[in-house]
Structure 1
Amino acid sequence: MPPDTAPSRPGSATSIIPVRHNLMSLRRLFWLRWALMGGQAVLLVSCEAVAGVILPYSPLLAILSLQAVFNLLTGLRMRMHTSRGGMPSDAELMGQLMVDLTALSANLFFTGGATNPFVSFYLPGLAIAAAILPWRNVIALAAYAMACYSLMLIEYVPLNLHNPDNAINYHLAGMWLNFVASATMIAVFVARLSGVLRQRDAELNLAREQLLRDARIEALNDQAAAVAHEIGTPLATLAVIAGELRADAADPRLATTHVCAYLPDLQTMEQQLELCKSILARLRDDHETAAAQRIDAWLDGYVERWQLRHPHARLEANVIGEAAALPVEAARVGQILTILLDNAARSQLAAGHEQIPLRLAIALEDNRALPTLIFRVTDRGLGIPKSQRARLGEAPMTSMHGGQGIGVYLAQSAAQQMGGRLAWHDHHEGGTVAELRLPAPSLAALPAASPFASPLTTSPR
């Protein structure tokens, strides 16, 4: 027999699943029908000589011929599916089994009806249907088989026996043959098909594991890209300070300047280096940083770390109402907010409003259908043109203050992975309000609040 799986595309999770399962089922029905027709032909030839049963040959031969023609058409249909790369539908397989049940009913009608020991041959056909078809189709076929059986309790052509006294022996012999044929069909077809299904389940499990591995790698790639974006700000600060130090060293007028005069610059460089180390440590310790934290316990530390990135900017953050007690995925939410706040700080700097503090407000929108946690970053910068706002986050694009839009693209992608979204609105006093909306997590995700939780409002001293 040919293999049970079709060629697959590498890298696709569904590629290792046997996509031609229905085609293999049709092929097995095709060969099983030839085998059953061969058995019918043997019985037609030998029944009278061996069992003394006179059969109505004309209708039985007509039924056998129609079965042969139908099976030849089935063979052509299989070739068509193979050449076109198609797959039989469940309705087509149901039609195949319906034809088989009809042929069986016709044969039984002319050979004793419900008194024929082969009348239980309906059961292997229904077992095959249960193995390859949805339950609705199986119920329909079972109802059809019961209707045919019930009809043959009333109307059928009686068997013509040479010796009616041997009817019981003939019936027992027929029941034995029926059992052998049914057991063979179930063993060859249904058991083999069950093995294929078990193999498919194993392959599906492998596909799920591969998907999980791919998801972990994709998440690590996203985090690495976000970390690379975050680390650009402290590196830019270090580059500016290094350039100033180099210029001072080359200036003859500053040749006698003591090192202690550069102490603030050196301290800033140390802070930026520590910030770079903490960002890289977060990439290494992804398992720990991905844990959920209460917003009121996480916010102060986050604001302090962000201030190290922008020592000349000011950030005022506050949590409103019940949002303080909610858990938040600190790593990813922190990355998104860092990108939004970085852009807001650069926009305000470009607009000459660096003295105005940025504002981060966190609130819970208590919608009964879908409670939403909202993070709003407000700046008084240059604003975002409406032509860009609709496409912002969908692809990298150049911003008004010199950015390439990669950070916003990463932030939108991360928000969508968390089931949320980013949106930007004009501020009534000028500037932009960037809004991160996430499904509100359950309060049961974290233990009760610690008595040492940080205050709900924080701002740099």
Structure 2
Amino acid sequence: MPADPGGGAPLADTRVRTASTASATFGTRAGKPPLTSSGIDHSTQIKNLQQLVQLRWLAVFGQLFTILVVHFGFGITIPIEQLLFVVWLLVLFNVLSMLRLKAPIRVTNGELLAALLVDVAALTAELHLVGGAANPFVFLYLLQVMLAAVLLPRWGAWIVVLITGLCVGGLARLAHPLPLPNDPRDGLSNPYVAAVLVCFGLIAALVVFFIVRIEANLRERDQLLIQAQRRVLEQDHIVRMGLLATGAAHELGTPLSTLAVILGDWRHLSQIQADADLIQDVTDMQEQVARCKSIVTGILHSAGEARGESSRRTTVCVFLDEVVADWRQRRPDNRLVYDNRFGADLPMVSDSALKQMMGNVLDNAHEASPHIVWLSAERSGDDLVLAVRDQGPGFAPQVLERLGTPYQSTKGQPGRGLGLFLVRNVVHNLGGTLEARNLTQGGALVQITLPLAAIALDAHDAPHES
């Protein structure tokens, strides 16, 4: 494979429409939601709500353990039935929260605030029954404040601060007394001192464990947002290239038609008809002009076609055979070694974008290895794996580091470095992966992995037969 991922074909021949067409045609088949800021925020909010559900389960078990130890272990009289009723309500709320996580409804900041306030209300009810503000576990309010500061916007965090402050103040005035010996000289044998240590350890452990996990969720969200912004820029780049290609195709239509007419007139000239070599030259020129016109027509057709207008029913093996046959016809000087190990054939949707994508990869290999190129296809689980190998000098290190980014070319010519950029966008839109590496025995390998679900023909689909 060449040290340039761009391919040597002109812009018209790289078919800049590939990424946008693949997205429109197959985007819903890949089983992956679009990488948008709203989708990323939704995923992060779901994870944050899951963290609160897990924390609440720990709180339920911790409260049950504490209630039983205090009542039966220390022999302290507490309203155990009322406390267990509060715990039961918390369990019920958590079960409902788990069911809500399965619903395809966006998790809002208001919902996270409401979940935190439910925890605050349950803690307030329990403290009201066992000593109020004098209970050492009153410091658990700080955990709710910390979670609010991490999970919620500023207004939500201050609401939690205000409500927890009011709860502590209310507990200081209205609460059932809890008779506990409170002599610091008793050390750890004093139930109050032991409860303070347990509360401190519990808060410290939960803060470290859950805040770290929540921060990891937020960092992941930030990374995904960066990727989404990069994808938007790339798609905008592809759209601009498509507009340029379409405009160029319109401009080329007239001169190509003029050349076709002139060559047709030349063919009938007596001077040319008398020379077999000239007749052959004119015939070759007419074939090349016809091919150029076909490319231009294809670009104009692709720019305006809808989803079903370019797709058709076929099978994986037939599709691959057609791609190979078309490429061999265009590149008769190159020996393409084709190895199809896909196995049992499967129905699929064929689209020009897929052919253009594979054509770009083969064209790149042809530039690096003009005499021979290898193409293999096989099935790996639920994926179609395509591998293109050449005998060229291999990729330059800087190209491998930024594989698939536009204009990463070492050929020193303007307009290069677009081939694998377009291929990568098509592959990503289909939910697949693109890999490239240099081989120890020489040459390079480009491997494309596509999920069969992205191209498979569903039973309810009826694509247009072209």
Q: Give TM class, smaller chain.
A: 0.3 to 0.5
Give the TM-score, by structure 1 length.
0.46
Give the TM-score, by structure 2 length.
0.46
